[in-house]
Amino acid sequence: MNAIDISNLTKYYGKSRGIIDLDLAVKEGEFFGFIGPNGAGKSTTIRTLLGLISPSGGNAQIFGKDIVKEKEVILQKVGYLPSEAVFYSGMKVKDVLKLSADLRKADCKDEAEKLCERLQLDISRKVEELSFGNRKKLAIVCALQSMPKLLILDEPTGGLDPLMQREFFTILRERNQQGTTIFLSSHVLSEIQRNCTRAAIIREGKLIACDSVEAFSKTSAKRVTIHGSAALDKLEGIRDRKERDGAVSFLYSGEMERLLQVLAAGHVTDLSVSEPDLEEIFMHYYEKEGERK
Amino acid sequence: MIIVKHELRQGKTAFFIWTLSIGFLMAVCIFLFPEMKGEMDGISDMFSSMGSFTAAFGMDRLNFGTLIGFYGVECGNIVGLGGAFFVSFCAVSILSKEEKDRTAEFLLTHPVSRKRIVTEKLLAVLIQITVLNLIVYALSVGCIAAIGEEIPWKELNLMHLAYYLLQLELGGICFGISAFMRKGSVGIGLGIAAGMYFLNLIANIAEVADFLKYITPFGYAEGADIVTNESLDGCMVAIGMAIAAVSIVMAYLEYCKKDIH
């Protein structure tokens, strides 16, 4: 059974686009990445799945249950981490956790305690005193404490320091190994590359690619910048070449070994190899889409 | 009943402030009565000669020199208007505040149906206005007894019943509006309460505007009419309750299909 099954899902806000004809399937037990720039429709997709907004067309199932008709059954099995978590002011962290557990008719005290300790969240603090990062931690504990079968995470790491991010992903991987399906929406590519097995890319409301992360990494290019000279013309797989202030910068999607050979043979005084920013990856996928058609 | 409990806890500060304010003002008024009674002859003459101002507050039909006459005007305004403001404030924000404060995402992604959320929030409003009225009523009886006046049970009960019904109606209307709102709605709620109050004043002053009494809930909560007739106007009450019921049904219909942003 698929954890998430989306077919032809469409959402318009009045006349403006949310998502158009989205088709997507996430298998049970997968660690699935959902990538796209701001405004691409990631949150719209998630909010539709959770029943916060109703679809304009198409349908979707979570664990085989219809997202419109059987919303409450679905939500019982889903933990959701919103990108911007806001809680009722005046409440303490532990009261929020208790309220969340009560609304699920579950007793999650032990799990909540464990999670708070791992994430170093003080449960006696008042919600409005929490920093953005600490609010995020509270949202994480809320989403995870009931041990849901599916976790839907909307840009989860914003506001978390690197150490906490690492701890958070460690917890997620543990959960994933225990069989939890994870749907991770993000615009941080490295997060997806490091953790997910499969991923989908969404842009302007449409799904433009869906593949294993391994396949993505192979096809996705690196942004290489060199100072000095090298026989770059010998290389295959160079795109978007720019020269500025004696530096040459290009997108490289060829073999890494070949690049190293060429660079070693030349005179390179400085070198940087980085992930291309998301926009470049999208351009890459756009071109690919164009070629196929 | 988790949401009911949660709402009551969230609203307790506002609830106590309003209840205490209304109760305190009313108690002060009642305790002023014995002192005023002695000078009442002059005051009654003065009040009855202020023309439409007198009519607006029903003072042309009530005898200020009797406790119930005094109560109907002074305390009626305090409890009627105070209660109306509180219930409007409470009901108009109870659904919309989730979106305004951006907590809707938290609440609505828990396995609770929208219908249940509406029901529990409505219950929370009902409980608050019921308790407020009971406290104010008990306080009122206590204060009247304390100044040594005989308690006019029938009129008093009818008046407080009318204020309660008035609050139910305003609460229903504001609850309905709340389902449609996304942002600050408190102004609208208080505006409705104040507007309804003034409609009744106009109806009291101008005979041609008498029909307004059928629109505003203050029409059937008019102390002067209640004391004179020793009953509530069933027709006005029925219209009011029907309006409240329709508003509440609208709230259910809207909130259950609403897109939450």
Interval B157-187: pLDDT, tens: 999 999 999 999 999 999 999 999 988 778 9
* Contacting A residues, span 27-46, partner chain B, CB-CB under 8 Å: none
* Confidence at residue A282, expressed as pLDDT on a 0 to 100 scale: 60
pTM of this prediction? 0.86
pLDDT grade for B156, boundaries at 50, 70 and 90:
very high
Statement to judge: residues A153 and A234 lie in one domain: no
Predicted confidence pLDDT, tens digits, chain A (293 residues): 899 999 999 999 988 999 999 999 999 999 999 988 888 899 999 999 999 999 999 999 999 999 999 999 999 999 999 988 899 999 999 999 999 999 999 999 999 999 999 999 999 999 999 999 999 999 999 999 999 999 999 999 888 999 999 999 999 999 999 999 999 998 887 788 889 999 998 888 999 889 888 777 666 678 889 998 888 888 888 887 888 888 898 888 888 888 899 889 988 899 998 877 655 666 666 555 544 43
Q: What pLDDT is attached to residue A188?
A: 80
pLDDT in tens, A38-90: 888 999 999 999 999 999 999 999 999 999 999 999 999 999 999 888 999 99
How buried is residue A32: exposed, middle or buried, by Cβ count under 10 Å (0-12/13-18/19+)? buried
| R_g of chain A computed on alpha carbons | 22
Say if residue B137's pLDDT is above 60: yes
Q: Is A123 touching B (CB cutoff 8 A)? A: no
Q: How far does A39 lie from chain B, in Å, by closest CA?
A: 14
Q: Is position A192 within any domain?
A: yes
Residue A285 in domain: no
Query: A232 with A196, same domain?
Result: no
Mean pLDDT of B6-13: 95
SS (H, E, C) chain A: CEEEEEEEEEEEECCEEEEEEEEEEEECCCEEEEECCCCCCHHHHHHHHCCCCCCCEEEEEECCEECCCCHHHHHHHEEEECCCCCCCCCCEHHHHHHHHHHHCCCCCHHHHHHHHHHHCCCCCCEHHHCCHHHHHHHHHHHHHCCCCCEEEEECCCCCCCHHHHHHHHHHHHHHHHCCCEEEEEECCHHHHHHHCCEEEEEECCEEEEEEEHHHHHHHCCEEEEEEEECCHHHCCCEEEEEEECCEEEEEECCCHHHHHHHHHHCEEEEEEEECCCHHHHHHHHHHHHHHHC
Query: How deeply is B48 buried, as exposed, middle or buried, from its count of CB atoms within 10 A (0-12, 13-18, 19+)?
Result: middle
Residues A172 and A203 in one domain: yes
Task: Flag whether residue A92 sits within 8 Å of chain B, measured between CB atoms.
Answer: no
Tell me, yes or no, whether A138 and A31 share the same domain: yes
Out of B101, B103, B108, name the one closest to residue A52 (CB): B108
* Residues A27 and A65 placed together within one structural domain of the fold: yes
pLDDT of the residue at A233: 84
Say if residue A204 is in the same domain as residue A240: no
Residues A88, B109: C-beta atoms closer than 8 Å: no
Domain-embedded: residue A205 = yes
List of chain A residues whose C-beta atoms are within 8 Å of the C-beta of residue B111? 72-76, 103-105
Same-domain status, A97 and A238 = no
Q: Quick one: pLDDT at residue A271?
A: 92
CB contact under 8 A, A72 and B111: yes
In this prediction, what percent of chain B has a pLDDT beyond 70?
94
Whether residue A208 is found in the same domain as residue A225:
no
Q: Is A47 on the interface with B (CB under 8 A)?
A: yes
Scanning B49-149, the segments in alpha helix (DSSP H) are 52-56, 67-70, 76-94, 96-100, 104-108, 114-146
Of A242-246, B12-16, B100-104, B152-156, the one with minimum mean pLDDT is A242-246
Taking Cα atoms as reference points, which of B91, B119, B45, B103 lies closest to residue B192? Answer: B91
Determine the average pLDDT of the residues in B194-199.
92
The whole-number average pLDDT for the span B122-131 is: 97
CB–CB contact A76 B111 (8 Å): yes
Any domain includes A292: no
pLDDT in tens, B65-118: 788 888 888 888 899 899 999 999 999 999 999 999 999 999 999 999 999 999
CA distance A174 to chain B (A): 24
Mean pLDDT of all residues in B246-251: 98
Residue A258 is part of which domain span?
221-275
Mean pLDDT of chain B: 90
- The ranges assigned to domains in chain B are 2-256
Q: A228 and A210: one domain?
A: no
Per the document, the length of chain A is: 293
Phi and psi at residue A97, to the nearest 5°: -65, -40
Q: Is A82 within 8 Å of B104 when comparing Cβ atoms?
A: no
Question: Domain count of chain A?
Answer: 2
AA letter at B227 = V
Is A156 in the same domain as A98? Answer: yes
CATH number for the domain that contains residue A45: 3.40.50.300
